[in-house]
Structure 1
Amino acid sequence: MAGIRIRNHLPFLRAMTALLGMLILVGWCLIALGRNDPSVKLLPRDGWRWAPAASFSETVSPAEGWLPYSEMHAGAGQDGAYWLSVPLPADFASRDPRLFVYHAVALSVYDGDRLLYTYDPNASHDRLNLFYHWNLAPLPAKLPSEIRLLLDNRGHSRPELSLRLVGKGELFSYLIRRDAYSFVLSGLFLFSAVISVGLFTIRKDKLHLYFTLLALCGCYASMVRNALLQLFWDQPWLSFMELTIFPLGVYGFINIMIEVFDAEHTFILRRIRWAILGFTAVTLFSALFLSAGWFNWLLSYPLLAMFLVTAAFILNSIRSAYRTRQGPESVWMLAGFFIVTSFALIHVLRTYLPSFYSWLRQNISFLSELPFDTLSVALFLFLVCLIRVIVYRFGQMNLQLKAFNESLESSVEKRTAELRERETQLQEAGTRLAMTARGTAEAIASSMVLEERHRMTGTIHDTIGHALTATIVQLEAAKRLLSRDGRLALEKLEASQGLVRRGMEEIRGSVRLLSDDSTSYDLVANVEALIAETEQSTGATIERNIHPLPASLSTLKKRVLYQALQEGLTNGLRHGGSSRFRFSLHADGEAVRFRLVSDGRTYTPSAFGFGLKAMSERVEGLGGKITVTPGAPGCVLALVLPVNEPSDATESAERQAKETVR
């Protein structure tokens, strides 16, 4: 049973192994690069002494009352100034020595009673992130036996003070070797954000939007989480605002989980994400306007509680999704969550609870060797997991498109076979009717039925054949372009959708004409409906002048007039590029006169196409005449039909033809 359980979790174990391997490799490289080199000497705290100071404005250190630095109890100096006496080694040789001071707020450096360097953030209204801000105090070329520092923490929860001796020329190479990786990470985060923005513009998937947010948070944090940046841009606010980025990153992290997993697994996360966004706004307001003491309290306690509660809910959501379906999404999200959450907890303790983290480091040797900014590395590995999920989703979409394409090809083949069979049946019926003509009226009716069905069949066949064939071409192009150019692939899919819709509209028009009730066919109403639909769908303008028609006008002639208008509008829009039409229909004595004038390209007389040829034959069969002449510009379609009362035989033939067509 245990072996079966392990095999069930093998994908997750493989993902965790890969992520941990990469994290250990990167961590080992950072530890190796961050080790002290001979050009930088860390000053041990064994010989340090301290004494209280009345204020930061003192200029003379006390002559007595000095105590060992190890006896300085926790919290001493948090609300006031104090002096620190630091012995200097005699064996440090540099032509331009400097004192590299880490984790100090306000300080002054003295050689005896001579002031060497001073910095007060209140004088320049600076806010400091003590983990990244540093001071570089010049020292005499001949080092004194000791120096004295006047320090004031100004209410900050200060991590342990760190002092190093370094030559000014060696400082740059030391920081490059130790912190250059952070700029590489920020570049990778920025590249990931740009790619994600591109995907979002194509697919409008919120997952890519929150991916961008998290990548930008990682980019900013990686860029300012180093001491090297201060060499190029000494702006303390840059690193200070990094303290407000963490809650915003948590907000993006939660939304990514919501987008990846189903709603049933993220119900609680959907509720608490707004609380996280509110906490982010409060943190930003506190960083800008509240005192350092209040801001430190907010980061030390509410933020830690927020992080732990959020991590518990996220873990529960991922665990629920993983137990339901152990697919690539839940496997990689769970593995990435463990990596980023573990190092986020270390980051929170080290940044917001420095005293507690110092105690942990004294008892866990591993933490002493750990590079400071491992959270950025862990966050980048989480983004790698998210990229794996996005790639998996693209693969699933490609499979769906492939299945849809195969189904569409099968449907086209089936419909084409049905149309061919129907055409064969119509041809056989036409042959039989021609051989067994039973009178003039029946022959005319049968011929009209066959012609109507043949025309309708050809129209539907051409419409659906063209639309589906063009759709297949577009889908094949989209399938090939999907992995190379997502935007162009989406355009091909949208073009396919437009082709199918246009084909469906043309088929509906043909079916509508067949299904009209021939016993109560209202020509004027149908013409008005056709004109309104054409104006709405194409934007063309159609001026009409329609007079009442004789009640004796047969239904077949009404249909011929309607189809003539339909054919004329279609040809004018499709072939002539027309946008304005003038249509008139009226009865003149013994004839009905039809006239349609279009603008656009001037008509060049030529042989009639399939539609006009069929229309001409039908008009002539009813004793009428059709003409197509050039306009100025455009085209003029004119039609004349007689309005004589039909004979009983002809009326009977018409009725039979109508019933057969229906």
Structure 2
Amino acid sequence: MVGSALRNHFPLLRTMAVLLGFLVLIGWGLISVGRNYDKTGMKTEAWQWAPAHSFHDSAPPQDGWLPYASKPSIQGTGQVYWLKVPLERNPVRDPQLLIFNAVALTVFDKDKHLFTYDPSEHHHRLNLFYHWNLASLPTPLPSEVEILFDNRGGSRPLPWIQLLGKGDLIAHLIQKDTYSFVLAGLFLFSSFVAIGLYFVRRDRLHLYFSLMALCGCYASSVRNYLLQIFWDQPWLSYMELAIFPLGVFGFVSIMNEVFDSKHTRTLRKIRWIILGFTIVTIISAVFLDIVWFGWLLSYPLLTMFLITAAIVLHSIWAAYQDRQEPESVWMLAGFFIVTSVALIHVLRTYMPTFFGWVQDNIPLLYDFPFDILSIALFLFLVCLIRIIVYRFGIMNDQLKAFNQSLESSVQKRTAELRDRELELQEASTRLSHTMRETAEAIASSMVLEERHRITGTIHDTIGHSLTATIVQLEAAKRLLARDPKLAEEKLDASQGLVRRGLEEIRSSARLMRDDFSHYDLQAAITTLINEAEQTTGASIQSRISPLPDSLTTLQKRVLFQALQEGITNGLRHGGSRHFQFTLDTDGFTVWFRLISDGLTYMPSAFGFGLKAMSERVANLGGIMNVTPGNPGCVLTLSLPYAERPIGLLEGER
């Protein structure tokens, strides 16, 4: 049973072993680099301490010194105290006193002031794990120095002091902490790559990956001693305390994106609680009193971390048991590594007193690198990169399957098109047998249409001529007895009208046979109006705008015949004596309008002439309307035309 279980979990155990091996290897390297330096602090056996009145004491006390080996209670009470530190003769260039775990301090050589740092004067807040003070010492070295410490009411670790040269310090810090900036660069590069993938694919997993990488970049940049050499700004390392919950939010959000929704119901709720706690923590770091901010980090943050770790572990383990695929294996292995190291980091950073007690019972923790969390976080991001690569592999397989399916569909569609082509060829053969019958039917239809067109044209021409002739003959009949000469003139006019109507018939016949390319519409309309006024005595007011050259002869004839039909109907049926005629264009349409007086038009079915005219207008794409006037009748017509002559358009093609 045990062997079978181990085989089932072998991928997980193998992945955890690899990650743990990398973590131990890197941690051992960091310990090796810093061992010779970190163990060379000054011995505390000869130190002495004495209580101080305030941080503003101007000189150390002359008596009252107590042995420092008694582990004074001043660390827990936040009392201001003096510390007397003997200095060994050390032949170093530019001697310096390196001091850790001090909030505010002043260094004296007897009554001579050497160095002072007070964070309240600079509005600084300190992360004592990464803040240090460097006091310059005179040469030759004094036998001892007195240091005034003020922990500002908080419980602080015991001071750690070392005598060394400034050049040696800088060289060692470069050797020891350069890797953290390299790691920060890797985090930053990973963040840029992830945010680029997010903008391409809109996958929120890449967005949260970028957030965690940015948190790792910031932590690696400030979680070292070397940064203070280049930029002595304590706020940078201090805000690292508040950035940690933001990294936890990114961590939980990544879990929420990686696993199915059935495994992340609780995570979806808790991550917004973590985000709210993160915002509160960041605001508190800036505005809240340092004592209360320390309480917020020591208790609520630790509680939140432990609860979140338990919920995430439950979700990952459920997903792993449900389906042991690479995603759950790598996420579970990465979770164990980063959570274990983060727990040590939280205890050391936010509960230093408790962690000191643990260190006393587990001495191995004394050698545990403080910034190993950045390495663990980077290993977790490596796990996440492995998952992203795995997902890209799945997507690649899906694309291959889709490509194969597409090729199969194309082949199937090609075969269908070939069958369709054969069917079309057969249909074409059958169609060719019926083309003659179709052509004959079309020819018959064209003959009927042309007959109808000719009939309408002759009707318009003869109707107008005969109407005017009838008017002249009736006038001659009435004048024959009274004024034979005037009656004879009326008869001559009637004869001219008949001849002119005959000429119009011949002209229409030639137009239909030859389709003259030139027809002067404006001149023809002017002649028609003059003849109508002379022969009928009617008054016709006209306004004709310049007409476009692109009007076809057929369009011109339709406009002319519409005017002819309108005047004829007004004289014959309406008894009209006055007409108003306008012909305008707007660049695309010819607008025809004829208003007559006389009897008010009553809408009814068109007679033969108007019906034929309406059909001709419609065939040219236009619209004709006949509406009542006030009194009389209004004939309107709109006829679209091309912007350029048809001949030019055909020449361009």
The bucket for the TM-score relative to the shorter chain is: 0.5 to 0.7
Determine the structure 2 residue equivalent to 1:247: 245
With over 3 angstroms needed to count, the CA separation of the structure-2 counterparts of 1:401 and 1:56, relative to structure 1, is same
Distance (Å, rounded) in 2 between the aligned partners of 1:157 and 1:598: 95
CA positional deviation for 1:365: 2.1
Equivalent position amino acid for 2:197 in 1: L
Determine the structure 1 residue equivalent to 2:620: 593
Q: Report the secondary structure of 1:140's partner residue.
A: coil
Distance (Å, rounded) in 1 between the aligned partners of 2:155 and 2:439: 105
Does structure 1 residue 335 correspond to structure 2 residue 333?
yes
Residue deviations 1:57-91 (CA, integer Å, cap 9, x gap): 1123233332222323456364320111122223x
Q: Report the secondary structure of 2:120's partner residue.
A: coil
Does structure 1 residue 69 correspond to structure 2 residue 65?
no
Residue deviations 1:275-320 (CA, integer Å, cap 9, x gap): 1111111111211111111111111111111111111111111111
Kindly report which structure 2 residues correspond to 1:144-543, keeping only aligned pairs within 5 A, or say none.
Answer: 144-432=142-430, 434=432, 440=437
Does structure 1 residue 33 correspond to structure 2 residue 33?
yes
Question: Contact 2:78–2:155 at 8 Å: present in 1 too?
Answer: no
Q: Report the secondary structure of 2:119's partner residue.
A: coil
Residue deviations 1:474-531 (CA, integer Å, cap 9, x gap): xxxxxxxxxxxxxxxxxxxxxxxxxxxxxxxxxxxxxxxxxxxxxxxxxxxxxxxxxx
Equivalent position amino acid for 1:160 in 2: L
Question: Contact 1:41–1:166 at 8 Å: present in 2 too?
Answer: no
Residue deviations 1:123-146 (CA, integer Å, cap 9, x gap): 111111111111001112222332
Distance (Å, rounded) in 1 between the aligned partners of 2:617 and 2:93: 119
Equivalent position amino acid for 1:111 in 2: D
Determine the structure 2 residue equivalent to 1:15: 15
Distance (Å, rounded) in 1 between the aligned partners of 2:647 and 2:321: 73
Provide TM-score, normalisation by structure 1.
0.67
Residue deviations 1:359-398 (CA, integer Å, cap 9, x gap): 1122212211111100000000000000011111111111
CA positional deviation for 1:46: 2.0
CA positional deviation for 1:96: 1.7
Residue deviations 1:420-466 (CA, integer Å, cap 9, x gap): 1122123224435656x698269979xxxxxxxxxxxxxxxxxxxxx
Q: Report the secondary structure of 1:86's partner residue.
A: strand
Distance (Å, rounded) in 2 between the aligned partners of 1:371 and 1:405: 52
With over 3 angstroms needed to count, the CA separation of the structure-2 counterparts of 1:208 and 1:592, relative to structure 1, is same
Determine the structure 2 residue equivalent to 1:5: 5
Distance (Å, rounded) in 1 between the aligned partners of 2:376 and 2:588: 71
Residue deviations 1:596-627 (CA, integer Å, cap 9, x gap): 9899xx99xxxxxxxxxxxxxxxxxxxxxxx9
Question: Contact 1:361–1:368 at 8 Å: present in 2 too?
Answer: yes
Equivalent position amino acid for 2:53 in 1: A
Question: Contact 1:157–1:354 at 8 Å: present in 2 too?
Answer: no
Distance (Å, rounded) in 2 between the aligned partners of 1:443 and 1:249: 86
Would you say how many aligned residue pairs link Structure 1 and Structure 2? 470
Determine the structure 2 residue equivalent to 1:134: 132
Question: Contact 2:284–2:293 at 8 Å: present in 1 too?
Answer: yes
Percent sequence identity over aligned pairs = 59
Determine the structure 2 residue equivalent to 1:466: none
Question: Contact 2:103–2:128 at 8 Å: present in 1 too?
Answer: yes
CA RMSD of aligned residues (A): 2.8
Question: Contact 2:76–2:156 at 8 Å: present in 1 too?
Answer: no
Kindly report which structure 2 residues correspond to 1:601-612, keeping only aligned pairs within 5 A, or say none.
Answer: none
Provide TM-score, normalisation by structure 2.
0.68
Equivalent position amino acid for 1:178 in 2: K
Q: Which has the larger radius of gyration?
A: 2
Distance (Å, rounded) in 1 between the aligned partners of 2:3 and 2:134: 59
Question: Contact 1:94–1:141 at 8 Å: present in 2 too?
Answer: no
Distance (Å, rounded) in 2 between the aligned partners of 1:78 and 1:630: 102
Question: Contact 1:251–1:276 at 8 Å: present in 2 too?
Answer: yes
Distance (Å, rounded) in 2 between the aligned partners of 1:597 and 1:327: 73
Determine the structure 2 residue equivalent to 1:630: 649
Determine the structure 2 residue equivalent to 1:109: 107
With over 3 angstroms needed to count, the CA separation of the structure-2 counterparts of 1:433 and 1:245, relative to structure 1, is closer
With over 3 angstroms needed to count, the CA separation of the structure-2 counterparts of 1:146 and 1:398, relative to structure 1, is same
* Greater Cα shift, 219-228 or 142-151: 142-151
